[in-house]
Each structure stands twice: as structure tokens, then as C-alpha cells.
């Protein structure tokens, strides 16, 4: 039986503005991904943040990773698959979700759901990952912890509360959306869930927040021709989406290249000087693929980007990287560059001129 207060909260889902997101957060009982014991959903409606949470009974009595939820609190709750199908899935009325560090979150949702023997099939969403957005648009944060991000935005958060984290996440994503052109950005959930076979060793940290093992081999400064390297896939898809949006700003998605150049012309580059590209920026390896970006409609852009990722047609930088400009900018605004550090110094491609910096 749903009480009036809960009903009023749920009714606000009917007033979501277009292109808004719905944030998810979970608590794990222990280090196993299939041990979700609480899941929260949050959204913004009428200028106010709203949220609701549900308990779920995991297949364990080990609650060593949960700070607030205990086995006694969930002993009469339904299993996660029932909670998802009955309570959570009907709330996800928009195709775009948001999350802080989406990879461990959605892998735990999938694992907890499939603990029942069912197959998790809700793969048609897009996800805006707060940690990636923060690293891209707030480079002076120092770190991308949820506390650092929300502190920058004056958003209060209780890290031990699943609901509080979800509400803080949706507020932070909305903050970034209001200041930067990220409305077309979204990681296909199907790609996130396809990373299961390449998950690095992880340990529990505050519910679903999972950290990399400190003994793990450090990543290269960029990911090269491999669409299935954990977080690299997220960076590839998100950076391409955001970079594309910035380059095709003011709804010029289907405009001819000449009209785009009239809006913003590349500077003159010195081929003897070293330039830099920040974390989250990218280059397209083959000039012939630049045309496919321009002729793709906005509605089909995600499919085009996913295809390019799978075919290894892009390099995405996971840290600040030096490049050399090797020629004049093209008419479409892309600049020929060669990577000037890292393990593949001869790798070349084409970068949007807005992503190339002098220092």
C-alpha cells in the first residue's frame, strides 16, 4: 500500500522537463556485485530534487560493506529482481539516466538482478556519468570523488546514504548541464554492461563505490584501438559525444562544413611547437571517417559513435597528452596531429581544433 507522501513524490515524475536525467545509486551488502541491499532513484521536478529508495534482500547475511543497512532491516524485503521489475523500472520514464561511476553501479545492478536466474534486459538507456563529466568540465578539482564534486557545487551529500548520493548526483549533473553543452552526451548502457569480461580487481568502498586495486598495472596515457578496456570505453564514447556537440554547436548537426567554419575558424598552428590535449579529448584516425560524422543525423549519432568505437577508429586520451600539429586545419575544423609522447609516438589522426591547447 503506497501512502500519500510517497504517492505525491512519485507523481512529480509526470512533470519532468525534457532531457532531464534520473539518477540511480545502490548500497552493496558486501564486496560481491550481486549483493545490492538498497537502491535509490532521484530526479528533479519543478525545481526541487525528489527521491525514493527501496530495500532488497540479497542472497547473503554478510553485510560487511554496508554502513547503514543491516540484514535485519531487509529480512522481509523482496529479492532485487522483484524490486527492480515492480518498483524501479516503472520509474525510469526517460531514456537518459545519470550515475556517479556508472560501471560498478550498473554491473552490480545486472549481477544482483541475474542472481534470480533471470536475464537483465533493460539495456536501451543512455547514461550520463558524473565522474566523467566532472573530469572533463571541472579539470581543477584535484580528484573526482563525489564529495569533491559536490563540494565544488555547494551540494550537500551524506556518503553513507544511498538516497542522498542519488539526489546529489542528479543535482550535480543538472548543474553541469546548465553550464556546459552536454545534453547530447550519453553512454549506451549496453556498452557498460558489455565490460563484464574485462573488469579489473576491485574492493568495496561505501556501498557501490568501487576502487581499482592499487597493485593494478597503470594505464597508458591513452587507449589505442581497443573498445573494451574498462573505463576507456566510457571515455571514448563520452568524449566523442561531448566533443562532437561542442564542434557542432548551435544545432548545426546537419549543416554543411562551410557554414560551420564560418561560425568558428581554427587558429594558425606552428608545426614546430608542442600542443596539448586534455583528458577526455580524442582524435579520429582516418580522414575518411570525418565525413561520416558530418553526414550523420543527430538521432543516429549514438549508433555511429558505437560503430566507430567497435571498429577501433578513434584514440581517446585518459590524461593530458602532448601532440604535434602536422599540417593545416581542414575545412571541417579538424586538425592533423601526431601524438608526441606515450608508447605509440607515431600514432596520428585528426582532432577538433577546440580540443588543442598551447599549454
Instruction: Give residue 277's pLDDT.
Output: 86
Cell output for 186: 550519453
Tell me the per-residue pLDDT of 116-146, one tens digit each, with 9 for 90 and over.
999 998 888 889 999 988 887 887 787 889 9
Instruction: Give residue 144's pLDDT.
Output: 84
The partner residues of 41 in beta bridges, in order of sequence, read 24, 52
Using CB atoms within 10 A of its CB, is residue 228 exposed (0-12), middle (13-18) or buried (19+)?
middle
Instruction: Give residue 299's pLDDT.
Output: 52
**Strand 314-317 vs strand 348-352: parallel, antiparallel, or unpaired?**
unpaired
Residues in the chain predicted with pLDDT less than 50, given as ranges, are 195-263, 343-345
Instruction: Give residue 278's pLDDT.
Output: 78
Instruction: Give residue 230's pLDDT.
Output: 40
Instruction: Give residue 123's pLDDT.
Output: 82
Domains and CATH numbers, the chain: 4-212 (3.30.420.10), 222-355 (no CATH)
Instruction: Report yes or no on whether pTM surpasses 0.75.
Output: no
> 173, 100 in Cβ contact below 8 A?
no
SS3 341: coil
Amino acid at each position: 500500500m503506497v501512502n500519500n507522501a510517497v504517492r505525491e513524490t512519485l507523481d512529480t515524475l509526470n512533470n519532468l522537463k525534457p532531457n532531464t536525467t534520473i539518477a540511480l545509486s545502490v548500497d552493496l551488502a558486501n564486496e560481491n556485485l550481486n549483493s545490492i541491499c538498497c537502491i535509490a532513484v532521484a530526479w528533479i521536478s519543478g525545481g526541487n530534487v525528489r527521491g525514493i529508495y527501496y530495500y532488497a534482500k540479497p542472497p547473503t547475511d554478510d553485510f560487511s560493506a554496508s554502513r547503514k543497512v543491516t540484514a535485519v532491516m531487509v529480512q522481509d524485503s523482496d529479492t532485487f529482481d522483484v524490486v527492480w521489475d515492480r518498483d524501479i523500472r516503472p520509474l525510469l520514464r526517460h531514456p537518459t539516466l545519470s550515475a556517479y561511476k556508472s560501471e560498478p553501479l550498473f554491473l552490480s545492478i545486472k549481477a544482483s538482478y541475474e542472481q534470480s536466474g533471470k536475464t537483465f534486459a533493460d539495456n536501451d538507456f543512455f547514461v550520463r556519468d558524473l565522474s566523467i563529466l566532472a573530469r572533463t568540465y571541472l579539470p581543477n578539482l584535484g580528484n573526482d570523488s563525489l564529495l569533491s564534486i559536490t563540494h565544488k557545487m555547494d551540494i550537500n551529500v551524506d556518503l553513507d546514504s544511498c538516497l542522498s548520493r542519488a539526489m546529489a548526483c542528479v543535482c550535480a549533473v543538472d548543474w553541469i548541464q546548465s553550464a556546459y553543452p552536454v545534453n547530447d552526451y550519453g553512454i549506451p548502457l549496453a556498452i557498460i554492461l558489455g565490460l563484464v569480461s574485462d573488469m579489473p580487481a576491485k574492493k568495496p568502498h561505501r556501498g557501490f563505490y568501487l576502487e581499482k586495486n592499487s597493485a593494478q598495472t597503470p594505464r597508458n596515457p591513452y587507449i589505442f584501438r581497443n573498445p573494451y578496456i574498462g573505463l576507456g570505453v566510457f571515455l571514448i564514447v563520452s568524449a566523442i559525444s561531448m566533443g562532437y556537440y561542442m564542434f557542432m554547436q548551435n544545432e548545426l548537426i546537419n549543416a554543411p562544413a562551410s557554414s560551420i567554419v564560418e561560425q568558428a575558424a581554427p587558429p594558425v598552428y606552428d608545426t614546430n611547437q608542442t600542443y596539448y590535449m586534455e583528458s577526455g579529448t580524442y582524435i579520429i584516425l582516418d580522414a575518411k571517417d570525418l565525413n561520416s560524422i558530418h553526414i550523420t543525423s543527430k538521432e543516429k549519432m549514438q549508433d555511429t559513435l558505437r560503430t566507430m568505437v567497435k571498429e577501433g577508429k578513434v584514440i581517446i586520451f585518459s590524461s593530458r597528452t602532448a601532440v604535434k600539429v602536422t599540417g593545416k586545419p581542414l575545412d571541417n575544423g579538424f586538425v592533423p596531429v601526431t601524438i608526441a609522447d606515450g608508447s605509440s609516438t607515431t600514432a596520428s589522426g585528426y582532432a577538433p581544433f577546440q580540443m588543442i591547447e598551447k599549454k
